[in-house]
Amino acid sequence: MEKTNSLSIYDFNAININGESVPLANYKGKTLLIVNVASKCGFTSQYKDLEEIYKNYKDQGLEILAFPCNQFGAQEPGDAEEIKKFCSLSYDVTFSLFSKVDVNGDNATPLYQYLKEALPGILGTKAIKWNFTKFLVNKEGVPQKRYAPNDSPKDILSDIKKIL
C-alpha cells in the first residue's frame, strides 16, 4: 500500500486559489486528502461529502487540498474567481482550494507527477483518469492510497480515520 522514495509531499509548493505560493510543508503533521476537482463534473456533488468530512475531522488533523482541473471534458472552465464563487455558494467549501492545474501530460504540476509516481493506478497506470481522483497522504507526508473518481469520500472515511 505504501510506497516511499526520497521525496515527500512537503518538498512541493502549490499556488492557492488566491494566487499565493503555499509550501506544502505548512501541512506537516496533518493527514491530507488531495483531490482534483471540477465544477461541472458528474462527481461534483462529492464537494458536499468532502466538506462534511472536513468539518467533522479538521480538528483531528485532516486537511483537504482541492486542485481544480480542466483536463477532463473541459469540466472546470472558470477562472479562479468563478471557481471560488461556485465552491462557496454551491457547497460552502471551507477546505483549501488551489489554482487550476494540469494533472496529466507535459504540463502536469510537479505535485501530481510525484503523487502518480508514488501511487500508480490500476495495472500500474500513472495517468489520472478523471476528476475527483483522490490521494490519501499520512502525517509524515507519504502518499498512502489512491482512490478512483467514483470512490465516494464517505466510502474512504474509514481509511482516513485510521491514519488521523
As a whole number, mean pLDDT of residues 149-161 equals 96
Instruction: Examine the pLDDT at 3 and tell me if it is beyond 50.
Output: no
Give the pLDDT confidence score for residue 104 in this predicted structure.
96
Residue 69 designated active-site? no
| pLDDT tens, position by position, 51-90 | 999 999 999 999 999 999 999 999 999 999 999 999 999 9
- In percent, the amount of the chain with pLDDT more than 70 equals 96
As a whole number, mean pLDDT of residues 137-154 equals 95
Q: What's the pLDDT band for 154 if we cut at 50, 70, 90?
A: very high
Give the pLDDT confidence score for residue 9 in this predicted structure.
94
Domain range summary for the chain, segments of one domain joined by +: 9-163
Cell of 2: 505504501
Q: Is 92 left (phi over 0), alpha (psi -120 to 50) or beta?
A: left
Which residue of the set 17, 32, 35, 41 is catalytic?
41
Q: What is the pTM of this model?
A: 0.93
CATH class of 9-163: alpha beta
17 in helix, strand or coil?
Answer: coil
